[in-house]
């Protein structure tokens, strides 16, 4: 361990070998955490674990000896997973019009079930009596994010989430024949 004086604070940093030894001590626990919490795929879990180790090596100077190493490793793991998840979701996002969506769904199997599902979703949304909930359902169906719903409807995030939960439950009940 090396001591560095930075802004009159005494910071003790780990050497690469010491950090590697500590990492190897928590590697099994981290791997199980990744497998059960984030991935069920062993290869993806291994990749994330390697990324965690690399990130820890690059940030070894930020680790303070009075800090819990395992907690630091868990934090890095969680944040890396969230970053990877956001990037993967961003790359998967496709914006399509209703007509395009209907055509895409028609090409799936014979398409009739999917076409009926879209029509039934629209009917179920139209049948919602409360105008605020109906608008919320339309926005959800159109792919609005929570923040966009908050901005447009001018209500708190918790209210949006609560109402949307009720709307989803109603739609699930109405569309139960589709196993949605």
DSSP of 147-173, one letter per residue?
A: HHHHHHHT--HHHHHHHHHHHHHHHHH
Q: Return the residue matching tokens 């010491």.
A: 18
> What is the SS3 string spanning 43-80?
HHHHHHHHHHHHHHHHCHHHCCCCCCHHHHHHHHHHHH
- Residue 17 pLDDT exceeds 80: yes
- Residue 143 pLDDT exceeds 50: yes
Tokens representing 176 are: 């139960």
Confidence of residue 79 (pLDDT cuts 50, 70, 90): confident
- Residue 2 pLDDT exceeds 80: no
Q: Determine the pLDDT at residue 156.
A: 92
Looking at residue 145, what DSSP letter applies? Answer: -
Sorted by where each begins, the domain ranges of the chain are 2-92, 98-178
123 vs 115 pLDDT, higher one: 123
Q: Determine the pLDDT at residue 67.
A: 78
Give the architecture-level CATH label for domain 98-178: Orthogonal Bundle (1.10)
Instruction: Determine whether domain 2-92 maps to CATH 3.30.830.10.
Output: no
Tokens representing 27 are: 């590697």
């Amino acid at each position: 361990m090396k001591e560095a004086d930075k802004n009159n604070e005494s910071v003790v940093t780990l050497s690469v070998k010491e950090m590697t030894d500590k990492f190897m001590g928590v590697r099994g626990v981290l791997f199980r955490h990744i497998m059960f919490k984030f991935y069920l795929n062993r290869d993806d879990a291994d990749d994330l674990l390697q990324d965690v180790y690399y990130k820890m090596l690059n940030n070894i100077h930020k680790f303070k000896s009075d800090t819990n190493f395992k907690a630091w490793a868990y934090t890095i793991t969680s944040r890396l997973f969230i970053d990877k998840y956001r990037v993967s979701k961003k790359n998967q996002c496709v914006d399509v019009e209703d007509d395009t969506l209907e055509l895409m769904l028609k090409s799936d199997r014979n398409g009739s079930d999917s076409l009926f599902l879209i029509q039934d979703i629209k009917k179920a949304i139209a049948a919602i009596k409360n105008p605020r909930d109906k608008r919320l359902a339309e926005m959800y169906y159109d792919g609005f994010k929570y923040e966009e719903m908050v901005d447009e409807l001018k209500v708190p995030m918790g209210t949006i989430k609560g109402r949307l939960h009720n709307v989803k439950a109603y739609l699930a009940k109405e569309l139960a024949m589709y196993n949605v």
